[in-house]
């Protein structure tokens, strides 16, 4: 079913939606790479005028809405960016060719957009901005659009990262602050699940292999902490967990809960809408039936 959805883009047509940030026609969302080009122009100016910071005028001031949305908590400012580039110049150099290939898989992204339109007709599509940051964020969903950190993402992975962030963009009614661990895991895991459904891939294979092989043990551990703060454990947003587990096990937990809810549903399209508009995460867990598999007699 997942692969079949990718062919739907050729036969579905929808009307335009007037919005400054998004449209309802998947074919009309723009993929913007001018920021990547501007970044490398600034990068090549480093050292030619030692007293100036080329990223201020040549990159940030000329930046798109995507760059502006990527400032807080990521790029921060020209000085912070320049310092990171000086510290990791070789890493940036290695990322150059790949960052210039971000649109190699645009057709696959469009196919995923159309697949979401089939599953969730109310979907809206923002512009997708490819920018270069400080190796601290691979993707971000913002009211201004979807922003992809091109220095961190392999070109071949772009359709899956874009699909994940596109799902977050639809989750406008889900609170993004003060979440407990359960809510944060479902928020991210549901984006992985639906993102995979529309794009054909994406979730961390290593984490999923480990999680599936140790499912009962991990669920027992998770239930003891799932109502703690989202950032109080190594299950989320940590590439090197201290406990030795693979990264982002919280994404995997949320994926499994979402998968259970979806597989249990008789109306799959309604299930997609439900997943995109969760109000009560504990209730969603209960209705998924996922936990019951561990308590069967």
- Structural domain spans, the chain: 24-170, 181-294
Tokens at residue 174, please?
A: 């889900």
Cβ contact 213:278 at 8 Å: no
Residues in the chain: 297
Strand partners, 23: 125
Burial of 60 (C-beta count, 10 Å sphere; 0-12/13-18/19+): buried
Cβ contact 145:162 at 8 Å: no
Digit-by-digit pLDDT tens for the chain (297 residues) are: 444 443 333 333 232 322 346 899 999 999 999 999 999 999 999 988 778 999 999 999 999 999 999 999 999 999 999 999 999 999 999 999 999 999 999 999 999 999 999 999 999 999 999 999 999 999 999 899 999 999 999 999 999 999 999 999 999 776 666 689 999 999 999 999 999 999 998 878 999 999 999 999 999 999 999 999 887 788 988 777 777 889 889 999 999 999 999 999 999 999 999 999 999 999 999 999 999 988 765
**237/106 Cα distance (integer angstroms):** 27
**134/292 Cα distance (integer angstroms):** 43
Cβ contact 195:120 at 8 Å: no
Beginning with the edge strand found earlier in the chain, give each strand of the sheet holding 145-149 in spatial order.
Answer: 31-32, 128-131, 145-149, 139-142
Radius of gyration of the chain (CA): 20
Q: What is the pTM of this model?
A: 0.88
């Amino acid at each position: 079913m997942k692969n079949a959805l990718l062919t739907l883009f050729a036969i579905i047509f929808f009307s335009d939606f007037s919005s400054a940030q998004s449209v309802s026609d998947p074919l009309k969302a723009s993929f913007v790479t001018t920021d990547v080009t501007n970044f490398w122009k600034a990068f090549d100016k480093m050292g030619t005028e030692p007293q100036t910071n080329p990223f201020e005028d040549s990159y940030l001031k000329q930046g798109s809405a995507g760059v502006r949305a990527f400032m807080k908590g990521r790029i921060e400012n020209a000085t912070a960016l320049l310092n990171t580039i000086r510290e990791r110049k070789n890493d940036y150099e290695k990322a150059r060719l790949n960052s210039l290939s971000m649109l190699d898989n645009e057709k696959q992204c469009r196919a995923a957009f159309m697949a979401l339109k089939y599953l969730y007709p109310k979907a809206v599509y923002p512009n997708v901005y490819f920018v270069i940051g400080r190796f601290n964020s691979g993707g971000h969903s913002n009211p201004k659009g979807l922003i992809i950190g091109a220095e961190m993402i392999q070109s071949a992975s772009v359709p899956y990262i874009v699909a994940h962030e596109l799902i977050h963009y639809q989750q406008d009614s889900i609170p993004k602050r003060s979440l407990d661990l359960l809510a944060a895991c479902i928020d991210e895991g549901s984006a992985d699940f639906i993102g995979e459904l529309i794009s054909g891939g994406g979730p961390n294979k290593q984490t999923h292999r480990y999680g599936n092989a140790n499912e009962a043990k991990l669920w027992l551990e998770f239930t003891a902490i799932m109502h703690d703060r989202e950032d109080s454990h190594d299950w989320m947003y940590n590439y090197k967990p201290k406990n030795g587990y693979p990264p982002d096990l919280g994404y995997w937990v949320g994926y499994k809960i979402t998968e259970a809810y979806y597989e249990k549903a008789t109306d799959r399209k309604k299930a997609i809408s439900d997943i995109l508009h969760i109000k009560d995460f504990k209730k969603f867990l209960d209705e998924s039936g996922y936990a019951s598999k561990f308590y069967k007699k």
